[in-house]
Structure 1
Amino acid sequence: MDNDVDKFYRELPKVELHAHLNGSVSFQTMEKLIARKKHLGIERSMTAIRNDQRRTLDECFQVFKVIHQLVDTEEDILMVAKDVIREFADDGVRYLELRSTPREEKNTGLTKTKYVETILEAIQQCKNEGVDIDVRFLVAVDRRNGTEVAIETVKLAEEFMLTTDGLVVGVDLSGDPTVGHGRDLFPALEKAKNGGLKLALHLSEVPSQLEESELLLNLPPDRIGHGTFLHPEVGGSQILVDKVVKNNIPLELCLTSNVVGQTVPCYSKHHFQYWYHLGHPSVICTDDKGVFCTDLSHEYQLAASTFGLSHEAIWKLSQEAIDCTFAPETLKQQLKQKWNELRPHVCQ
């Protein structure tokens, strides 16, 4: 983790909208998990990628497989989720949308329903313990698992949306972008949208997905994860950009993740600049703070230093992220009030 982050970025109230639970597990929590499961022979270096390292997307997904071996019981999930929530709160994040794919583990008796219930229990426990953060949950559809599993996952999300008093707000489409095709998942995503769930879709994460991106933009999604290759300067198309702009779909942008994962050559060429100059809603996020050894304060400072953004511009970016959340309108207003109250202290 970068300890050279300026006080302004640490104290800045922040919104995190693209955080995969298992990818957000910190060094400290990993140490606890590894100590619990010494028989697996997993070392800390196998669960994270430093900023000065470059990895292919495939290598990044291999890291997740290792983490999944360490997180396979209700007890693990509860600890991991609570630690992740507390760490985001400690970093000044005041609203968080976590996402994770429901998993079952026959060896430990973990079911997909229990998986989600345990994460929701962690959210509730943190709230009861007075952790200063509002947390919501997105149920993730892993694209490699195909149509049938996607529909099952959406049904699970719908059940939880109706029974959790607003904690489950939407569905995320994620997983290895080189596997499967959006057309196979379209029926499940359409079902989710028609059922009142919000959609946050990983889109154009790798090149040559023009057809899939155009298809999924027809839903349309409520937010886009990455959107790295949407615009024409990097092999996308003006048609895709026009659809995104017409529907005013916010983008979740993750600088370190994209550079370390080699979908973007360097920070100065990150597509944040394209969308920001267009005046399009763009939210800075971490993606996987544990795997990529970062946090949201660092990502904001990185954006500021790379693209020459003032404290005023960064504050505006942070505050405008509230409108991109899947929170109910009443909570959005409360968050805006909180930002207004904190502004004199942070921007002194």
Structure 2
Amino acid sequence: MTVIPKIELHLHIEGAAPPAFIRGLAQEKGLNLEGVFNDDGSYRFENFNQFLSVYEAACTVLTGPEEFGRLTTAVLEQSIEQGVIYTEAFLSPDFCGGGDVGAWREYMIAMQEAAAKLPEIDMRGIVTCIRHFGPEQAKTAALCAAETAGDFITGFGMGGDEMVGAQGDYAYSYDMAREAGLRLTTHAGEWGGAASVWQALRDLKVERIGHGVNSIEDPALVDHLAEHQIVLEVCPGSNVALGVYPDWQSHPIEKLRERGVPVTVSTDDPPFFHTTLSREYDLLADTFGWDDEVVRDVNVAAAKAAFCDAATREKLLKQLEPTS
């Protein structure tokens, strides 16, 4: 397969932290992360709830802007190795200053400065509230997003436990982000069924859906996504690792694509799921026969859906043009 530049739209900055990076920080600080790692050094979890617990435990070693700057460098260097030319990372003020706008600004600047030192890749930040922290806490994340919206912070989203509450519970936060000019996405249709995607579209008025794979359960929803060209940020390896689908053959990404739904490919939290973006595409080729044309089309769809300025989008699309 030709090496085609890649665009990643669904990447959690803390979830992309190399285990060795987190272990190193813990050792520097003398912190005990017992239960977080397997004997081979990988992250330890067996189900989605354990994954969330381990994720949050690993985040406890990230306690200052300088560390998030170092984390950004480590994550982007991994992405560059995978041929990624543009990435959007979910950044949570809950893990960066506890939702205080002033503290969040310092964290954001540290991440932005780290990204600027790696010209091989463009990065934008999607400020993300944590669903299982509740609607009131989400408002603090939305305020942080609104106060720092600009060239680097371009979107607002929601992660966390999709089974807590309803999408509409967070409408106030989304309205705040929308009024600040931020573009909107949310995790839906990973665990909550097709109904959660309908909720996200109706109650939060998002333009992209994180995961969204349960949409396949509702033919009317699939038709709606295709008709309105609503982009899904699909993370196949994550879905299989967490048991949303039992194996790659069962994953609906190809069925969705064949029905005209714009799909993109991302890694979500790659070291947790023992994956890379190159591995995702290799498995999609092996499982569904994706060739260079499909891979290019998927990345063009990602470029068009990216929460970036017109000049950056034009640059990305030019880089994705066939060379021969």
Q: Same fold (TM over 0.5)?
A: yes
- 252 and 130 in structure 1: CA distance in 2 versus 1, 3 angstrom threshold: closer
Structure 1 gap ranges (5+): 1-5
Task: Return 198-207 or 69-78, whichever deviates more.
Answer: 69-78
Give the aligned residue type for 2:134.
G
Query: Partner residue of 2:29?
Result: 37
- 323 and 276 in structure 1: CA distance in 2 versus 1, 3 angstrom threshold: same
Query: Partner residue of 1:295?
Result: 276
Distance 2:103 2:169 in 1: 27
2:234 paired with 1:242: no
Query: Partner residue of 1:24?
Result: 16
2:70 paired with 1:79: yes
Cα drift, residue 194 of structure 1 = 3.6
Asked if structure 1 preserves the Cα contact closer than 8 Å seen for 2:226 and 2:259, the reply is: no
Partner of residue 57 from structure 2, selected from 50, 56, 66: 66
Give the aligned residue type for 2:28.
R
Give the aligned residue type for 1:118.
Y
Task: Output the TM-score relative to the length of structure 1.
Answer: 0.84
Distance 1:38 1:254 in 2: 34
Other structure's SS at 1:327 match: coil
Q: Deviations over 1:151-170 (max 9, x none)?
A: 22212111101xx4x11111
Distance 1:84 1:147 in 2: 29
Query: Partner residue of 1:88?
Result: 79
Query: Which structure carries more relative contact order (alpha carbon 8 Å, separation 6+)?
Result: 1
Query: Partner residue of 1:121?
Result: 110
Q: Deviations over 1:218-240 (max 9, x none)?
A: 142111011121222xxxx2343
2:199 paired with 1:215: yes
Distance 1:116 1:297 in 2: 33
Other structure's SS at 1:24 match: coil
Distance 1:35 1:304 in 2: 40
- 309 and 160 in structure 1: CA distance in 2 versus 1, 3 angstrom threshold: same
Corresponding residue pairs, total: 321
Query: Partner residue of 2:160?
Result: 175
Cα drift, residue 49 of structure 1 = 4.7
2:158 paired with 1:158: no
Task: Return 41-50 or 90-99, whichever deviates more.
Answer: 41-50
- 263 and 105 in structure 1: CA distance in 2 versus 1, 3 angstrom threshold: same
Other structure's SS at 2:213 match: coil
Structure 2 gap ranges (5+): none
Partner of residue 92 from structure 2, selected from 91, 101, 104: 101
- 333 and 105 in structure 1: CA distance in 2 versus 1, 3 angstrom threshold: closer
Asked if structure 1 preserves the Cα contact closer than 8 Å seen for 2:8 and 2:88, the reply is: yes
Asked if structure 2 preserves the Cα contact closer than 8 Å seen for 1:220 and 1:247, the reply is: no
Task: Output the TM-score relative to the length of structure 2.
Answer: 0.90
Asked if structure 1 preserves the Cα contact closer than 8 Å seen for 2:101 and 2:143, the reply is: no
Distance 1:26 1:105 in 2: 18
Asked if structure 2 preserves the Cα contact closer than 8 Å seen for 1:304 and 1:310, the reply is: yes
- 188 and 126 in structure 1: CA distance in 2 versus 1, 3 angstrom threshold: closer
Q: Deviations over 1:250-309 (max 9, x none)?
A: 001111110010011110111211211112211000000121121111111111111011
- 194 and 74 in structure 1: CA distance in 2 versus 1, 3 angstrom threshold: closer
- 208 and 314 in structure 1: CA distance in 2 versus 1, 3 angstrom threshold: closer
Q: Deviations over 1:23-61 (max 9, x none)?
A: 0011332342232133314464288458xxx83211211
Query: Partner residue of 1:131?
Result: 119
Identity among equivalent positions (%) equals 25
Distance 1:245 1:209 in 2: 15
Show the 5 A alignment for 1:285-324.
Answer: 285-324=266-305
Task: Return 115-124 or 320-329, whichever deviates more.
Answer: 115-124
Asked if structure 2 preserves the Cα contact closer than 8 Å seen for 1:73 and 1:110, the reply is: no
Other structure's SS at 1:97 match: strand
Distance 1:145 1:170 in 2: 20
Asked if structure 2 preserves the Cα contact closer than 8 Å seen for 1:89 and 1:131, the reply is: no
Asked if structure 2 preserves the Cα contact closer than 8 Å seen for 1:169 and 1:326, the reply is: yes
Cα drift, residue 117 of structure 1 = 3.3
Task: Return 292-301 or 213-222, whichever deviates more.
Answer: 213-222
Distance 1:286 1:189 in 2: 25
